[in-house]
Amino acid sequence: MEFKTKKLRNLQIAMVMMGALSFTSCGDIEEPDGKWDPMVWHAEVPTDWQNNAFVVDANGEEFTFSCKNYSKPWLYDAQYAGEYYHPIVEDNEYHTIDWHTISLDWFKAEIKDNQLKVTFDANQQTEERPINLTVTAGDIFYTFNFKQSASK
């Protein structure tokens, strides 16, 4: 009989402790949402920046950027002509998404560790091609704006 009494007593103590923790566990903890430092990017070679966008040569060009304050950001999406393009899905399953590559027929973005490489093929069109590429590291986002010149 003494064994059952101890077991019941231990169960009661455990229940009281769990109850106390449930009231205190979420109280004064600051949430990180919105408190992340902005991403700081550095172009590895000089770039032409005009009207809030990197200017891309009509013949194609490659850009390399390094993130200075986040070690492993990943790609979120690219926006071109009103459409959104997302990282490559390999098997239509969430866990097989390659968060490090986004590509179109003429554009490719790849990220490895803190280094982003963006490649543009030649623009054969008579209109410029603006594209926005968004990178994330959780709750912080950074958007690169590019405008590829038109073929003349």
Rounded Cα–Cα distance for residues 66 and 68 (Å): 6
Q: How confident is the model at residue 52 (pLDDT cuts 50, 70, 90)?
A: very high
pLDDT single digits (tens) 79-122:
999 999 998 776 665 566 788 999 999 999 999 999 999 999 99
The confidence score (pLDDT) of residue 2 equals 55
pLDDT single digits (tens) 19-33:
554 554 444 445 555
Q: Give the CA distances from residue 54 to residues 60, 62, 117, 147, 149, in Å, rounded to whole numbers and listed in that order.
A: 13, 11, 14, 6, 10
Given a cut of 70, whether residue 17 has pLDDT beyond it is no
Adjacent-strand bridge partners of 144:
133
Contact present, 137 and 116 (Cβ < 8 Å): no
Adjacent-strand bridge partners of 147:
55, 130
Beta strands 83-85; 88-89: pairing state: unpaired
Helix, strand or coil, per DSSP, at residue 13: helix
Output the furthest CA–CA distance in the chain (Å, rounded).
95
Side-chain-facing half-sphere of 85: CA atoms under 13 Å: 18
Contact present, 121 and 106 (Cβ < 8 Å): yes
pLDDT single digits (tens) 4-14:
565 656 556 55
Contact present, 149 and 58 (Cβ < 8 Å): yes
